[in-house]
Structure 1
Amino acid sequence: MKLNIKDKFNLELPADTHLENSRRQVFNACFSYVTPKKTTRPELIHVAPEMLENLGISKEDSTSNLFLKVFSGNEIWPNTRPYAMCYGGHQFGNWAGQLGDGRAINLFEVAHEAKSWMLQLKGAGETPYSRSADGLAVLRSSIREYLCSEAMYHLGVPTTRALSLVLSGDRVLRDVMYDGNPTYEKGAIVCRVAPSFLRFGNYQIFAARQDVENLRTLVDYTIKHHFSHLGIPNKETYLKFFNEVTQRTLGMIIHWQRVGFVHGVMNTDNMSVLGLTIDYGPYGWLEGFDFGWTPNTTDSQYKRYRYGNQPNIGLWNLLQLANALYPLIEDAPALEAILNQYKVDFEDASLKMMREKLGLQVERTKDKLLVQDLEDILCLTETDMTIFFRCLGRFKKCNPHEGLPLIEEAFYTPKELSHEVKTRWSAWFEAYANRLLEESVSDEARAKGMNKVNPKYVLRNYMAQLAIDEADKGNYALIDELFQLLKYPYDEQYKQEKWFAKRPEWARHKVGCSMLSCSS
């Protein structure tokens, strides 16, 4: 197996001078050197062919003992030094101080076909940032991360990627619901891949400690390797950098809203500076369309990270990043102008996204009201978001009276629709049909366009849980079935029609199928 190693992060940035792997506060450093924990009986469960190709690894090499050793953490690649990043962050709105890679270990960076990738093991053992945790991961959370990161990529959502899923052969103690009943579970390791895993928190930690020198060093490094098109680092470039991070964050969250994805833990240490979806913990897709839904049990009381609040949290997190960058810029009005523009741009981008979901190409001022009315009606009764928008693509503007029967399969309890709700749906379909008359495209062309932005298949929590349950029995076939299904989320895939279905009733309150804890 050959890899074109081109490390940058741990060669150009300041390292922790203390080499012992003990929990501690790390100062004046962007990372600490660590060694992954050796596993007992590693077993490769799945590998992502596209990421193999992106890294220049052949399929044959992925079946080798060396591949298994490296990506289980049992062997360090020659002339490389694994490390864990130092960062801080706001958790649920409160400054938490130093956090860092508590269960993630960066192996090395690979350059292939003019692209650079950082490879990171999640669940490979403790680091100086593990605090009271063991740095390990369990099979269920690893399956969820592995499948979801690749599923998001194929949905067109900016995201980190996954290379491999390995069973460690060790048992890991976890309290699934934080209710004082921990049990031993199968341990696993995911190899995550991204151009960079830099987060808002990487910059926040230096600002919080008033370490402007290292803050500047890290920002300059980031611009040099990931935003070089902005020019040589200076105050103006720092502002451009913040503006681009803002726009990337906005674009990422628009995609989340489009497909009904709820991150669940939008802490600033879980926000990628590259605008990538990062850290798949208690995430979920909307089953019933509900702006107030969160998949995170830890967030169940205040619902800070609920679906409808994700755009606002994105802005709040960007404000924290602006505060962190302020010592380099010292121009509050300029930073505030960028943040204020986010509000305007998000409203415009959100309406544009909804027009696309509804198949509207011509802009009309009344579209905002049409969208608002739709969202209000969707909230009146439990309606599956994915199925609704996919079925809506079959709507014929000359038959508005057929609208309600067309979307009936999206309702969880269609027989319980009240007369008032039916009346409101009929009125909306009349308005929608009239609006479509102002479009020049045919119903068939509109349906084709809508099907490119309204996925047919998403990784519903119950689907992931089914794969987890099978994997616990030693059967990994369902992992591959879902992996293959989610590579083509916008295609019909008639042989996989069973996955185009509402959440089963048995999954409504089942652990892992509705809400999840941060240990998930």
Structure 2
Amino acid sequence: MKNLKINNRFTNELPADTNETNEVRQVSNAVFSFVNPTTPSSPKLIHASEEVAKLVGITEDEIHSESFLNVFSGKEVLPHTRPYAICYAGHQFGNWAGQLGDGRAINLTEVEHDDAFFTLQLKGAGKTPYSRTADGLAVLRSSVREYLCAEAMHYLGVPTTRSLSLMLSGDQVLRDILYNGNPAYEKGAIVCRVAPSFIRFGSFEMLTARNELKNLKQFVEYNIKYYFPEIKGEPKEQYLQFFQKVVDTTREMIVHWQRVGFVHGVMNTDNMSIHGITIDYGPYGWLENYDPNWTPNTTDSQNRRYRFGNQPQIAQWNLYQLANAIYPLINEAEPLEKILASFITDYDSDYKTMFLNKLGLFTSTESDSKLIADLEATLQLSETDMTLFFRNLSKVKKEDSANKALEIIQDAFYLPEEITGEILDFWTKWFTIYIERLNAENLSDESRSQKMNLVNPKYVLRNYMSQLAIDTADQGDYSLINELYLLLQKPYDEQPEFEKWFAKRPDWARSKVGCSMLSCSS
């Protein structure tokens, strides 16, 4: 990989752990620890993204080289680099968890290409000082999900990490998939993830919690210097601008999650990026039936803290923790509180605009908030597939009756026999008002439909689709991974050759492990 331009800004400029033994421990006065990946016994490339490779300076030919296989499986270390794991803390499910850190992720290096910087990180490459009681490895099941989902999100237009490669390690990994005392061996795997950096809210929390304020100042200023170079002014003003940037990009990310029906599943502060990009694809899922109370995470099944409808509030809560972490540099609560208060106000405005765009309404009226609220309520009266509903909604025409509109979207109902009586009345009333509203728009049906189809995807990575790919991959057949990868590159296109994937969740997937609820076990 001769064109990789190595740049070790992170390890050259930030305080390193002076203890270089790879033993689990508390790490203080450091932002990261040097650590090499565990050597896999027999790595094998399953899939690689040519687009992401090109993004970082790797050619198509190099993807199929022995060097690529060895570097991105953790078997070899790139010349002039020193892999490292980042130290961070976090609030998990609302509770302070203390030191966490990269427990199964190892950053290989930073690279520069076409005036942009990227961090290359292996997930599942072995133990680090932050692995606690775990082995730092990952299994094929979770690795397929992460590899496909990051790319799916990118093509949906959602800010995200990217996936470079998916490999088998050749080793068996013991996992208890449902945490029910029934562990089993699974195939080990490694994903190479790509992002501007993998810096999380939790890094700032860790430094403040340990009162390492000199390191905190250095770390914040490092982030401003390299990731937010447009920020200028006096130090305190720079810190506030930095916080405002993170607030804004986080809000934008959450709006996109809600637009496509994505549920992260584990929005701990250690899983929140300073870049406002989606990181750490664990027990995620897309809404099948529109249910604001749904979470895919078995660990969260009782309290549903990270349910779909609560993601904006959790994002604000996490930002509050970030504000607390950088407060010692500012020593004024009011400006931080003002920025935090604006988060939900701005989010509500952005959400309304986004939702109206999904409905094909590109001007705003006083009655629109009620139109949106009434639809959200009506969608929950009987199980209604979110993706199918909004995609088919674009086919409704201005001259259609409410009954005709219902016919157009009826494939979205999981139990169509329930659409009678009071439920039918609610739908009829809503569509009557909606069609009146369409007629007030100065757009042709064709133009409106085209615009709606740019924000309402036809294809999303439903959990049952991932599970089918995992099941076949476990048998050594990777064709379905490739098929889904190709499908998800054009989620807004019709793609008639892939029409079978434009369908509701099948009944067999309703309660199947990996299709309905998932754990953090990987």
Query: Are 2:483 and 1:492 aligned?
Result: no
Partners of 2:144 and 2:234 lie apart in 1 by: 40
- Alignment correspondent of 1:214: 215
- Alignment correspondent of 1:506: 508
Deviations 1:449-483 (A, max 9, x none): 00000000000000000000000000000000000
Query: Are 2:316 and 1:315 aligned?
Result: yes
Normalising to structure 2: TM-score of the pair?
0.99
Measured after TM superposition, the shift of residue 158 of structure 1 is 0.3
Name the aligned partner's letter for residue 249 of structure 2. R
* TM-aligned CA distance change 1:442 to 1:279, over 3 Å: same
- Alignment correspondent of 1:462: 464
- Alignment correspondent of 1:370: 371
SS in 1 for 2:189: strand
Normalising to structure 1: TM-score of the pair?
0.99
Query: Are 2:518 and 1:516 aligned?
Result: yes
Partners of 1:262 and 1:330 lie apart in 2 by: 35
Q: Which moved more, 1:398-407 or 1:376-385?
A: 398-407
Q: Counterparts of 1:461-480 in structure 2 under 5 Å?
A: 461-480=463-482
Measured after TM superposition, the shift of residue 231 of structure 1 is 1.7
Q: Counterparts of 1:352-391 in structure 2 under 5 Å?
A: 352-391=353-392
Query: Are 2:62 and 1:61 aligned?
Result: yes
Measured after TM superposition, the shift of residue 400 of structure 1 is 2.5
Measured after TM superposition, the shift of residue 232 of structure 1 is 5.3
- Alignment correspondent of 1:29: 30
**Contact 1:223–1:233 at 8 Å: present in 2 too?**
no
1:430 to 427, 432, 444: 432
- Alignment correspondent of 1:135: 136
Q: Counterparts of 1:7-86 in structure 2 under 5 Å?
A: 7-86=8-87
**Contact 1:354–1:371 at 8 Å: present in 2 too?**
yes
Q: Counterparts of 1:285-296 in structure 2 under 5 Å?
A: 285-296=286-297
Partners of 1:494 and 1:203 lie apart in 2 by: 48
**Contact 1:393–1:447 at 8 Å: present in 2 too?**
yes
Measured after TM superposition, the shift of residue 49 of structure 1 is 1.0
Q: Counterparts of 1:33-432 in structure 2 under 5 Å?
A: 33-231=34-232, 234-401=235-402, 402-432=404-434
SS in 2 for 1:165: strand
Q: Which moved more, 1:199-208 or 1:398-407?
A: 398-407
Partners of 1:495 and 1:400 lie apart in 2 by: 32
Measured after TM superposition, the shift of residue 6 of structure 1 is 1.1
Measured after TM superposition, the shift of residue 437 of structure 1 is 1.4
Name structure 2 gaps, 5 residues minimum.
Answer: none
* % identity of equivalent residues: 61
Deviations 1:380-428 (A, max 9, x none): 1100000000000000121133111111000001022231111111111
Partners of 2:224 and 2:62 lie apart in 1 by: 34
Q: Which moved more, 1:188-197 or 1:233-242?
A: 233-242
Measured after TM superposition, the shift of residue 169 of structure 1 is 0.4
Name structure 1 gaps, 5 residues minimum.
Answer: none
Partners of 1:233 and 1:212 lie apart in 2 by: 18
Deviations 1:144-173 (A, max 9, x none): 000000000000000000100000000000
Measured after TM superposition, the shift of residue 357 of structure 1 is 0.3
Partners of 2:334 and 2:233 lie apart in 1 by: 22
**Contact 1:89–1:98 at 8 Å: present in 2 too?**
yes
Measured after TM superposition, the shift of residue 287 of structure 1 is 0.3
Measured after TM superposition, the shift of residue 79 of structure 1 is 1.2
Deviations 1:186-235 (A, max 9, x none): 00000000001000001000111111101001000000000110125600
Partners of 1:497 and 1:138 lie apart in 2 by: 30
SS in 2 for 1:135: coil
Deviations 1:292-317 (A, max 9, x none): 00000000000000000000000000
Partners of 2:239 and 2:57 lie apart in 1 by: 34
Aligned structure 1 segments of 4 or more residues deviating by more than 2 angstroms: none
SS in 2 for 1:163: strand
Q: Which moved more, 1:493-502 or 1:226-235?
A: 226-235
Q: Which moved more, 1:228-237 or 1:382-391?
A: 228-237
SS in 1 for 2:163: strand
SS in 2 for 1:97: coil
Measured after TM superposition, the shift of residue 94 of structure 1 is 0.3
Partners of 2:262 and 2:340 lie apart in 1 by: 24
SS in 2 for 1:375: helix
Name the aligned partner's letter for residue 330 of structure 1. N
Name the aligned partner's letter for residue 385 of structure 1. M
Deviations 1:57-86 (A, max 9, x none): 111111000100000000001111000000
Name the aligned partner's letter for residue 291 of structure 2. D
Partners of 2:418 and 2:143 lie apart in 1 by: 39
**Contact 1:117–1:195 at 8 Å: present in 2 too?**
yes
Partners of 1:116 and 1:232 lie apart in 2 by: 24
SS in 1 for 2:485: helix
Partners of 2:160 and 2:217 lie apart in 1 by: 26
Partners of 2:248 and 2:20 lie apart in 1 by: 38
Partners of 2:218 and 2:385 lie apart in 1 by: 47
Partners of 1:56 and 1:81 lie apart in 2 by: 19
Count of matched residue pairs: 520
Partners of 2:439 and 2:343 lie apart in 1 by: 33
**Contact 1:220–1:233 at 8 Å: present in 2 too?**
no
Partners of 1:72 and 1:289 lie apart in 2 by: 39
Name the aligned partner's letter for residue 498 of structure 2. Q
Name the aligned partner's letter for residue 146 of structure 1. Y
Cα RMSD (Å): 0.7
Partners of 2:121 and 2:486 lie apart in 1 by: 23
Deviations 1:343-377 (A, max 9, x none): 11011001000011001111111110000000000
Partners of 1:415 and 1:9 lie apart in 2 by: 59
Name the aligned partner's letter for residue 501 of structure 2. W
Q: Which moved more, 1:336-345 or 1:396-405?
A: 396-405
Partners of 1:165 and 1:343 lie apart in 2 by: 38
